[in-house]
């Protein structure tokens, strides 16, 4: 697969009152690498991906996805275009079954015309749901109420929901937060599997996870990009070292 830039931001800026959470950011994603964003609390990581997914609108600047300016598009439109996002905090419907959660996500990813067609075709949805649950290792949990799953499984369910939306870009905001070590290792294996067919953008505080997964790393601080490069370049960057040592 040739290396292609499929998403870029151009001087992307988001202000909240007097605070500039993301400032003049030129950020680029290519299709041939797992990309991680790291940086201290409040650096602007979640805001940047919220702008990319459409949960937030920019104050100024633009987002270009596969040649098209999507800056003003709704997040629903972007999901249909393949930009799918999992939240920093779990966002499953706790009272619905695992099956229903994933089926909703399939529905949401379909365009209105397709939705009409798929309404009559429950078997197509069922097929997507079982494939998605299977790929995260939750086969057999279809009828379990999502809120009763152990936390690690809720996170996996969330990944299954994202995969069911057939993403081209899957944005994972701190997917390992709150997971035990064995669950983290499982999730790393799962993400490596996913990235064979989906571009992954990962926000992550756990450096062991970043360095075992990412092929390219963007470091954010105070709303701007302070460094970018391969994991080893980032590890050896003195400014980044100072940032993390708090000097
Ligand atoms: N909806 C909002 N209203 C006001 N300020 C906000 C809002 N969302 C984010 N901010 C502020 O913008 C800045 C960047 O926040 P953001 O959540 O993007 O950081 P982050 O890098 O994801 O941090 P963390 O690692 O803690 O998740 C912070 O100062 C935060 O308080
Ligand atoms: Mg965040």
Which of 15, 47, 205, 226 has the most ligand 1 atoms within 8 A of CB, as the residue to mutate? 47
How confident is the model over 107-117, as pLDDT tens digits? Answer: 877 765 565 55
Q: What is the pTM of this model?
A: 0.92
Which of 46, 53, 205, 244 has the most ligand 1 atoms within 8 A of CB, as the residue to mutate? 46
From the alpha carbon of 45, which atom of ligand 1 is closest?
21
| Mean pLDDT calculated for residue range 237-245 | 89
Distance 204 CA to ligand 2 centre (A): 9
CA–CA separation, 187 and 136 (whole Å): 9
With a Cβ cut-off of 6 Å, ligand 1 is lined by 16, 19, 21, 39, 41-47, 88
Sign of the CA dihedral with 34 first, then 204, 108, and 130 last: positive
Distance 88 CA to ligand 2 centre (A): 7
**Which residue's entry shows tokens 């999730």?**
187
The protein residue whose alpha carbon is closest to atom 6 in ligand 1 is 16
pLDDT band at 121 (very low <50, low <70, confident <90, very high): confident
Distance 21 CA to ligand 1 centre (A): 6
pLDDT band at 132 (very low <50, low <70, confident <90, very high): very high
Domain ranges in the chain? 1-82+167-247, 94-166
The protein residue whose alpha carbon is closest to atom 26 in ligand 1 is 41
pLDDT band at 244 (very low <50, low <70, confident <90, very high): confident
Least confident of 65-74, 82-91, 233-242: 82-91
From the alpha carbon of 46, which atom of ligand 1 is closest?
22
Whether 111 and 159 have beta carbons less than 8 Å apart is answered as no
How confident is the model over 156-178, as pLDDT tens digits? Answer: 999 999 998 889 999 999 989 88
Token code pair at residue 118: 């798929």
The protein residue whose alpha carbon is closest to atom 3 in ligand 1 is 16
Q: For the chain, what percent of residues have pLDDT higher than 90?
A: 72
Which of 16, 39, 56 has the most ligand 1 atoms within 8 A of CB, as the residue to mutate? 16
pLDDT band at 185 (very low <50, low <70, confident <90, very high): very high
**Does the pLDDT value for residue 105 go beyond 60?**
yes
| Mean pLDDT calculated for residue range 26-54 | 96
Instruction: Say which CATH topology domain 1-82+167-247 has.
Output: Rossmann fold (3.40.50)
Most confident stretch, 17-21, 115-119, 205-209: 17-21
pLDDT band at 120 (very low <50, low <70, confident <90, very high): very low
Distance 170 CA to ligand 1 centre (A): 21
């Amino acid at each position: 697969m040739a290396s292609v830039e499929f998403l870029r931001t151009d001087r992307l800026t988001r202000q909240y009152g007097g605070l500039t959470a993301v400032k003049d950011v030129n950020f680029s994603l290519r299709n041939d690498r797992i990309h991680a964003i790291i940086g201290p609390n409040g650096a602007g990581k979640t805001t940047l991906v919220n702008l990319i997914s459409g949960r937030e609108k920019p104050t100024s600047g633009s987002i270009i996805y596969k040649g098209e300016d999507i800056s003003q598009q709704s997040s629903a439109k972007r999901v249909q275009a393949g930009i799918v996002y999992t939240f920093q905090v779990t966002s499953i419907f706790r009272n619905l079954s695992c099956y229903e959660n994933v089926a909703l996500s399939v529905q949401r990813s379909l365009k209105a015309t397709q939705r009409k067609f798929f309404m009559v075709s429950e078997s197509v949805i069922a097929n997507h749901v079982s494939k998605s649950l299977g790929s995260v290792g939750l086969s057999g949990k279809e009828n379990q109420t999502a809120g009763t799953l152990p936390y690690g499984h809720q996170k996996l369910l969330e990944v299954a929901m994202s995969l069911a939306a057939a993403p081209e870009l899957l944005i994972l905001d701190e997917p390992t937060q709150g997971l035990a070590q064995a669950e983290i290792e499982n999730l790393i294996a799962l993400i490596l599997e996913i990235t064979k067919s989906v571009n992954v953008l990962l926000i992550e505080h756990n450096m062991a996870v970043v360095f075992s997964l990412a092929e390219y790393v963007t470091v954010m601080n105070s709303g701007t990009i302070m460094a970018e490069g391969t994991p080893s370049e980032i590890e050896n960057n003195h400014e980044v070292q100072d940032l993390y040592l708090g000097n």
